[in-house]
Amino acid sequence: MALSSPLRRSLRGAYCFLPVLCQQSSYIHTTESCAAGHSKWANIRHIKAAKDGQRAILFSRLVRQIRMAIQEGGSPNPQINSVLRYAIDDAIKKNMPMSTVQTTIKRFEESQGQLKKHCLEIKIVNTPIYMVCVLYTDNLAGLRMQLTPVLKKSGGAFIDARHLFEGRGVIETTITDQVMERSVETKLNEICTDDAIECGAEEVEVVSEVAGSVNFFCDPVELNKVSRALVDRGYRVESAEHVFIPKTPVKVSESDQILCDTVRDKLKAFDGVDEVYDNIYFE
């Protein structure tokens, strides 16, 4: 659809707030971070930073990502399976030995089990805290049975709360020389906005022009497609994830925050639990 001049100028504004991109429209939401290092999805990022530093939990998560990438991409060969290639690159960046990567791929080829993604919602009683627990397992009933007593001891229970969260695809990228060459005569946020439209993203956020950090947001279903398109346009994909963002984040007491962190740690200690998102407001 051709864009009128006023709309095009609006799309390229540094602090533009427009309707989310639809399949038939070129409208897109473009923002720049208001404070150094503070990203729009900081509410999600703070959950992941310290907890994923635990080596055993981190490696288990990376192994699951590699297995899922093989399933989704339909091949154990990273040369023809771009989803797997991204997963391997991510694992290597996080210091997983190549021998572990190769062993993971080999074991998957030898096994018959197929991991499936599941989401379970949780309420921590007597608090305003809700969680979404993302699982990758071939035995949901068994894993849920293991998690139930742990939740009960911590004051948690499974509950339908998906409506409190929005599922988004978040692609964290770093611009390369290919993008920088195009930014000589055009502002970076304008280039990123145009690239977001071309690649099928719904929203773009320039986190830091100095560091070249740019986040793209999209429909989770389109995550791999948009990621591949961004790579083709000169972006280095640092991570691409389906996350759950609270529609209405809530502020909690320090004790409730500690309780939430404790529950998360206990859940993530189980093999098959990939990530746990909450609705706590983070400044």
User: pLDDT tens across 242-265, in order?
Assistant: 999 999 999 999 999 999 999 999
| SS3 state of residue 262 | helix
What distance in Å separates the CA atoms of residue 95 and residue 114, rounded to the nearest whole number? 26
Per-residue model confidence (pLDDT) at position 15: 30
Within a domain: residue 33? Answer: yes
Which DSSP letter does residue 130 get?
E
| Angle between helix 188-199 and helix 223-232 axes, rounded to 10 deg | 130
Within a domain: residue 26? Answer: yes
- Looking at the structure of the chain, the number of domains it has is 1
115 pLDDT more than 60: yes
What distance in Å separates the CA atoms of residue 170 and residue 167, rounded to the nearest whole number? 10
- Beta bridge partners, 116, equal 137
Within a domain: residue 281? Answer: no
Within a domain: residue 173? Answer: yes
207 pLDDT more than 50: yes
Average pLDDT, stretch 214-224?
93
Per-residue model confidence (pLDDT) at position 183: 75
Within a domain: residue 209? Answer: yes
Within a domain: residue 161? Answer: no
Range of the domain at 30: 5-40+166-244
Phi-psi region of 228 (alpha: psi -120 to 50; beta: other; left: phi over 0): alpha
Within a domain: residue 104? Answer: no
Within a domain: residue 264? Answer: no
Instruction: For residue 201, give the CATH number of its domain.
Output: 3.30.70.980
Q: CA torsion, points 104, 171, 226, 6, in degrees to nearest 10?
A: 180
